[in-house]
Chains A and B, each alone.
Chain A
Amino acid sequence: MRPAPFNYVAVHSIEEAVRYLSLYPGSKILAGGQSLIPLMKLRLVRPEYVIDVNGLITLSYIRASPTGLSIGALTRHAQVASYKTAERGLQCLIDSASVLADPQVRNRGTIGGSIAHADPAADYLPSLLVLNAEVDAVGPRGSRTIKIGELIKGPFETGLSGNEVITEVRCPKPPDGSSSAYLKLSKRLQDFAIVGVAALIVADKDKCLEARIGIGGAVTKPVRAYGAEALLADTRLGQSQIEKAAEKASEAISPVSNPHASAEYTTKMAKVMTKRVLMKAYEGLRKGSGAS
C-alpha cells in the first residue's frame, strides 16, 4: 500500500525539528525510517509532516569516556554492531545491534529511532535495560534525561511527549568485573524476537556480586527480571544456580500470544534463552579473567 499524503521537511537543527513537531501535532521524525515507513505504508501512521533529521550528522557518534558510552541518536545499528571495545560489560549492546533484523535495516535504522518506536520485540531494549541506560530528549522547554526503564511505557508507547526528540543514549560504565551478552530467538534469523534476553553479570572470580537480566520479545513491554537477579546476587556462579534464575526470570514477562508464538511457548523460551544468555555472559567473564 502507499502512504496517505504527507508533507516532508528536512530540518537543519533539533530545535527546528521540535518546532515542526509542536506546530503540526501527530507529525513524525524520520531517522532510519525502518519502522516509520512500513507503518505509513500500512496507514497505521498518517503524519501531517515527516520531519527528516538525517542531515543532523552531529547526532551520529559513539564516544567512550571514563563514565561510560555515549551514542548519538542518529547512530546506525551497523555502527553500533561494529563498535570495538575491551569493556565486556557493554558486549550485550553490540550483540543486540549485530542480530537486529537484516543488513539493510542495520545500515539504515538508528538507535534513537528504535527506542522511540518502543517495539517490545526491539533487540536494543533488553540490553539498554541491563546497562541502566539513560536517554536525552529535547523538547520546547529544553533537554531532559530519562532512564530507559521509565521511558518505555508499553507496546509502542514511550514517556516522550509528541514534541520531544531523542538526541543521545548513554550507558554508564559497567562495574569492574562485568560481562554481558544478548541472545534472541526468532522464527527466522532476521525476524523480530519471540524472546530476546540480555544479561549482565558482575563477578569476583566465581562469586556473583550482581546480575541484571532484561527480557523483551512477544511481551507487553521489555522488563528487568529482578526476582531472578536476586537469586544470583552473592552466590557462586554455576549451571544449577543459573538454571534456577532462568526459571524465575520467565515469571517476570507478560507474554502476548501472536500467530507464531503462544504465550506458553514464549514463557518457556524466556527460561531457555535466559539460561543460555547467562551462560554466555558467564563464559565471557571467564575469558575476560583469563586474558588479564
Chain B
Amino acid sequence: MCPQGLGTWGSRAMVITGSAIAKASEILIDKMRKIAAKVLEVSEKDIVFEGGKFYPKGVPSSALTIADIATYAYVATGVIPGGDIEKGLQAIYTYEPPNTVRFDEDGKGNFAVNYSNATHAAVVKVDTETGRVEILKYVVVDDCGVAVNPLIVDGQINGGVCQGIGAALFEEVLYDENGQPLNPSFMDYIVPTIAEMPTDFVVEHIETPSPTTPLGVKGVGESGNVASLPAVANAVMNAIGKECRILPLTPKRVLWIIEGKEVV
C-alpha cells in the first residue's frame, strides 16, 4: 500500500503513512467521483460522497458503492457512457511533514511532526525481604490526537507498557569482564510475560486533534513505553523510601538498595 517510507520509528506510522493515505484517498475519491458522474450522467459537482457511496445530490437511491465504481474502473470501462476514463483506481501521494527540520551541518535535525502525550501511574508492592516488585495497579491516560482505530491504540499502549515494565524491572544485557555476553538468548534475557503484567490495568484516552496533520493524529507508538519506566521506578522509590538510580530494578538490586549496599 505504501511504496516508500523511512520506517515506523518515532511514533510516525499513523502520522506519516496515515497522512499520505488520507491525501492519496482524496485523489482516489476525485477519480471515483468522475466515474460516478459519467455512469450516473450528472455533473461531477453534483455528486455527493457519503458513507462510502456516491450519488447525485438528493437521489441517494441511485447510489454507487466503491465496489461498483471499482468494477467500472477495472473491468467495465467499455460500458461507461461517454467512455474515456482513466483505468484502474490507484493514487500515489508523497507526504512531507510540514515542520520537519532536516539535518544541518552539525548533523542535528528534528523529524518529529508532533508529539503525543501520556501520563502513567503505577501502584507497586515491594517485598522488602526478597526485593521482588509486584505491580498491583497501572493506569495510563494518553492523547494520541484522533484515534483512527481505538482498538489498535489500546494495543499499542498495552504493548508499550509491557515493554516499559520489562526495561524497568527485568531486561538487561549482561557481560562478563571480557565482554562475553552472559544472557544471549531468551532463556536468560528476561522479558516480562503475561504473569508479570498488572492484573488491574486501566487505559483511558483523551482525543485532542493535532493541527499539523491532515487526520489530526499525533502517533501513539511511544506513549506506552516512554513513561512506564519512570512510573514503575518512582513507585518503587516511593514504596521503599530510597533513591533508585539504576535500571532494571531486579530483586537483588532492590534488596541491596533497601539495605543501603552499593548497587551496580
Chain A residues close to B by CB (< 8 Å): 38, 102, 185, 187-191, 259-262, 265, 268-269, 272-273
Contacts and interface: CB of A to CB of B under 8 A. Distances in A.
A38 B186 CA distance: 12
A187 B190 contact: yes
Interface string B146-175: 000000000000000000000000100010
Contact of A187 (B174, B182, B251): B251
A189 B174 CA distance: 21
Contacts of A102: 193
B195 A259 contact: no
Chain B, interface residues (CB within 8 Å), range: 10 to 19
Contacts of B170: 187-188
Interface of B: 129-130, 132, 170, 174, 182-183, 187-188, 190, 192-193, 195-196, 250-252, 255
A259 B193 CA distance: 19
A189 B193 contact: yes
A269 B130 CA distance: 7
A188 B130 contact: no
Contact of B129 (A190, A259, A272): A272
Contacts of A261: 252
Contacts of B192: 188
Contacts of A265: 251-252, 255
Given A185-B130, A187-B170, 10 more contacts: A185-B251, A187-B250, A188-B192, A188-B195, A188-B196, A190-B195, A260-B188, A269-B130, A272-B129, A272-B130
A273 B174 CA distance: 26
B61 to A, nearest CB: 57
Contacts of A272: 129-130
A102 B195 CA distance: 10
Nearest to B181: A259
B250 A260 contact: yes
Contacts of A191: 190
Contacts of B130: 185, 269, 272-273
A191 B196 CA distance: 11
